[in-house]
């Protein structure tokens, strides 16, 4: 390439107007062609001020997101300007996730985590980061990520797509498979080398030089997306929004949370939440998921209303899963305990759901973080239960009122 200070002989006979038009219109053919990349590789593109982005259609805003940090836009990319592997999802459009110019660290953090699950290591229950781009010209939202467009989040699925689910064997197999898949997706965030099978659970400790510990800190329904699969009645659920995650050589990260799903340790002064906080949050999501399975959206909504009570930390009514007694001791809300008992006595509750509820109550929604099940153990247990559902239909579907269930949760 010639230095910008040199002249090109081919332009010598051009008129000034022709040269100006060339300078003006050359950018229309210089739009980038986005590549997907492989393991540990997220292609990054620098977009200069006159470069054209190959977006053929925006849904909603006609611009990239300019409303709040890490906002999103839905776009369609010209098929000649991307080489993404999933042609079916590509036809539906893409989500552009935008980061504020001052949010570079969160942008890099999401890339660090998402890059580990690309190519041969692609995880079925984790959102696939396809590529990133950066706008060099001064703009409020400078950094952007490209994801396949989802059909919605888990809230949308419960409330809009399927407010009245069929209580069928196919649905139970799907749900139990998604439960174990989400647990493994969380494990991938917390201990990627363990999830990838590079190390054993016994070696999963901070002393391992290759180990890297993470904390998602946002395992709530709005950060679980669903993608409808061609030919399947049920979608695939994926964990999203790794920008809230923390990946360090230690197990405790910076505190981030939402009020509803926050773990009790966030209310303890000088207590830095770690990976067990993710287990609590996922347990809350699982419990709401069981409510939806048993009686649809109406039971999820009733469960939310029954949890609502004054919160001493935020001084407002909150639908958290714990509160404190008059002595200031933290405890699981009575409404949660009562609702779990109601689920056990529900006419549709099966042996599988009884065991799942026991695991949630005694292994996940435990006030003391040290008493919660480890993520690798949670996935191991849910995977075994899922496989049992596949081999034993009665275990998955036969209603059993309040059996004597004992689940080993180390």
- Residue 392 has what pLDDT? 98
Q: Are residue 262 and residue 391 in the same domain, yes or no? A: yes
- On the question of pLDDT at 205 being above 50, the answer is no
Q: What is the pLDDT of residue 204?
A: 44
What is the value of pTM for the model shown? 0.85
Q: How many domains are contained in the chain?
A: 2
CATH number for the domain that contains residue 277: 1.10.510.10
Point out the domain boundary residue: 129, 148, 167: 148
Q: Give the pLDDT confidence of 69-106 residue by residue, as tens digits.
A: 347 889 999 999 999 999 999 999 999 998 888 888 88
pLDDT digits (tens, 9 = 90+) for 228-281: 988 888 999 999 887 554 443 334 444 445 789 999 988 876 666 788 999 999
- pLDDT digit string (tens) for 378-410? 999 999 999 999 999 999 999 997 755 555 555
Question: What digits encode the pLDDT tens for the residues 46-73?
Answer: 988 888 889 988 876 545 543 333 478 8
Range of the domain at 70: 32-148
CA-atom Rg of the chain in angstroms: 24
Q: What is the pLDDT of residue 102?
A: 87
pLDDT tens for each residue of 287-337: 999 999 999 999 999 999 999 998 877 778 899 999 988 788 899 999 999
**Do 355 and 268 fall into the same domain?**
yes
> Does the residue 92 lie in any domain?
yes
- Give the C-alpha separation, 77 to 65, whole Å: 16
DSSP letter string, 154-220: HHHIIIII-SS----HHHHHHHHHHHHHHHHHHHHHH-HHHHTTSS-GGG-STT-TT--EEE-S--S
Mean pLDDT of the chain: 83
Residue 330 lies in a domain: yes
Last residue of a domain, one of 125, 148, 171: 148
Instruction: For residue 218, name the pLDDT band (cuts at 50, 70, 90).
Output: confident
Reference 110, options 128, 136, 84, 134; nearest CA is 128
| pLDDT confidence of residue 247 | 42
Q: What pLDDT sits at residue 403?
A: 56
Question: What does the pLDDT read at residue 39?
Answer: 73
User: Which tops the pLDDT comparison, 137 or 15?
Assistant: 15
Based on the domain organization, do 173 and 318 belong to the same domain? yes
* Distance of alpha carbon 22 from alpha carbon 312, whole angstroms: 66
- The number of residues making up the chain comes to 410
The verdict on 93 and 178 lying in the same domain is no
pLDDT in the model for residue 255: 42
Q: How many helices (H) and strands (E) does the chain have?
A: 12, 15
Site of tokens 């986005």: 34
Looking at the structure, do residues 373 and 281 belong to the same domain, yes or no?
A: yes
User: Tell me, what's the pLDDT at 216?
Assistant: 58
CATH code, domain with 115? 3.30.200.20
Would you state the pLDDT for residue 192?
65
Q: How many CB atoms lie within 10 A of CB 137?
A: 10
Percent of the chain with pLDDT over 90: 52
Q: Output the pLDDT for position 70.
A: 46
d(CA 44, CA 37): 10
């Amino acid at each position: 390439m010639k230095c910008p200070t040199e002249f090109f002989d081919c332009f010598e006979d051009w008129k000034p107007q022709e040269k100006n038009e060339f300078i003006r219109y050359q950018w229309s053919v210089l739009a980038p062609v986005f590549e997907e990349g492989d393991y540990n590789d997220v292609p990054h593109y620098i977009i200069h001020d006159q470069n054209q982005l190959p977006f053929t259609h925006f849904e909603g805003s006609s611009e990239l997101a300019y409303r709040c940090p890490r906002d999103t836009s839905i776009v369609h990319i010209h098929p000649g300007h991307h080489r993404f592997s999933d042609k079916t999802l590509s036809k539906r459009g893409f989500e552009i996730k935008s980061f504020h110019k001052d949010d570079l660290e969160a942008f890099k953090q999401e890339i660090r985590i998402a890059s580990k699950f690309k190519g041969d290591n692609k995880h079925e229950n984790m959102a696939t980061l396809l590529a990133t781009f950066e706008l060099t010209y001064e703009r409020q939202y400078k950094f952007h990520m490209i994801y396949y467009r989802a059909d919605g989040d888990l809230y949308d699925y419960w409330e809009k797509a399927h407010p009245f689910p069929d209580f069928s064997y196919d649905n139970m197999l799907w749900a139990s498979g998604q439960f174990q898949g989400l647990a493994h997706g969380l494990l991938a965030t917390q201990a990627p080398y363990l999830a990838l099978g590079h190390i054993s659970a016994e070696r999963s400790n901070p002393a391992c030089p290759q180990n890297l510990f993470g904390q998602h800190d946002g395992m709530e329904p709005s950060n679980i997306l669903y993608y409808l699969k061609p030919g399947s009645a049920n979608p695939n659920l994926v964990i999203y929004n790794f920008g809230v995650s923390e990946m360090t050589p230690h197990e405790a990260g910076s505190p981030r949370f939402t009020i509803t799903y926050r773990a009790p340790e966030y209310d303890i002064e000088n207590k830095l939440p770690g990976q067990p906080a993710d287990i609590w949050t996922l347990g809350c999501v699982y419990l709401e998921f069981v409510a939806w399975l048993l009686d649809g959206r109406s039971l999820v909504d009733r469960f939310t209303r029954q949890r609502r009570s004054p919160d001493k930390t935020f001084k407002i009514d909150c639908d958290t899963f714990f509160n404190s007694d008059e002595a200031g001791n933290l405890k699981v809300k009575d409404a949660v305990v009562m609702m779990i008992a109601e689920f056990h006595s529900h006419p549709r509750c099966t042996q599988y759901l009884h065991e799942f509820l026991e695991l949630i109550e005694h292994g996940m929604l435990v006030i003391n973080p040290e008493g919660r099940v480890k993520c690798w153990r949670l996935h191991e247990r849910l995977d075994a239960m899922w496989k049992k559902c596949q081999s034993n239909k009665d275990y998955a579907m036969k209603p059993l009122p309040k059996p004597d269930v004992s689940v080993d949760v180390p």
